Amino acid sequence: MSRPLLRLLLAASCLLAGGCVLMARPVDPRPADVIVAQAEELVDRRAYAQAAELYAAAIVKQPDNGSYYLRRSELLEAIGHDKEARVTYREALPRLAKGSSERIEVIYRLALISAEHMHDMELAEELLMQLPTGSLQRLDLTGYFYFLTNQHEESIPIFNQALVVARTGDQKASVLYHAAQVYDALKDEKNAVTSLYLAINNATHLGLIRDISALWTRVSGNQVLPNPPDGAQSP
């Protein structure tokens, strides 16, 4: 049977079965590290959608590599594909070792995107309980939940605790961005702008930079957004 005829029969069977969302993605024959290297070249050119597709191919090769899920989701967040990013985070959870740093980060990012962009507080609260007590991720998420429930004054002390245990630029940036949202809600423009300025100067996560940039535009008016640190790019 010829390949074109086989494809036609497969398509027909999909329609008879009620329709297929997507045909199976062809497997990339290259090793995962080669695929990822090409993906990062695309990131350097800000071709985030194409890079995300390559990370999907890398995940097929190494389905237990948490960094691939995190990077793919980050790229999807950067271009506003939040639903697809959430699907990727959810796919990662059963494939990563419990207690691993990558699984904790996936839980944290999934909770944030569910609460902020998907308005799914039930899932976000369930995920919060899976994070280690006293961790940056749990503190930041707790403070953010206080903000979302209009308990603004209660959130700031928790964000201050989170900053004490923050170890990376992105961890600091996430806390500062959430604090800026609180200050904006309280009509405290000075602290809102200061927090955003510090956030953008610590952030490298492309999805986080997208969110910081959106809030900066609303809070600061015509002021130019400061450049992210070396190695990071505005979406």
Determine contact, residues 214/57, Cβ cutoff 8 Å.
no
Rounded distance between C-alpha atoms, residue 106 and residue 59, angstroms = 15
Q: How far does Cα 16 stand from its chain's mean position?
A: 37
pLDDT by residue, tens only, the chain of 235 residues: 444 444 444 444 443 333 333 345 678 999 999 999 999 999 999 999 999 999 999 999 999 999 999 999 999 999 999 999 999 999 999 999 999 999 999 999 999 999 999 999 999 999 999 999 999 999 999 999 999 999 999 999 999 999 999 999 999 999 999 999 999 999 999 999 999 999 999 999 999 999 999 999 888 876 776 665 555 554 4
- CATH class for the domain made up of 132-235: mainly alpha
Radius of gyration of the chain (CA): 20
Q: What are phi and psi of 23, to 5 degrees?
A: -70, 155
Are domains 28-123 and 132-235 of this chain identical in fold? yes
Question: Which CATH number is 28-123's, of 2.30.30.230, 3.40.630.10, 1.25.40.10, 3.90.1150.10?
Answer: 1.25.40.10
Q: Where are the domains of the chain?
A: 28-123, 132-235
pTM: 0.85
Rounded distance between C-alpha atoms, residue 179 and residue 160, angstroms = 9
Rounded distance between C-alpha atoms, residue 150 and residue 198, angstroms = 24
| SS3 label, residue 128 | helix
Q: Residue 19 is which amino acid?
A: G
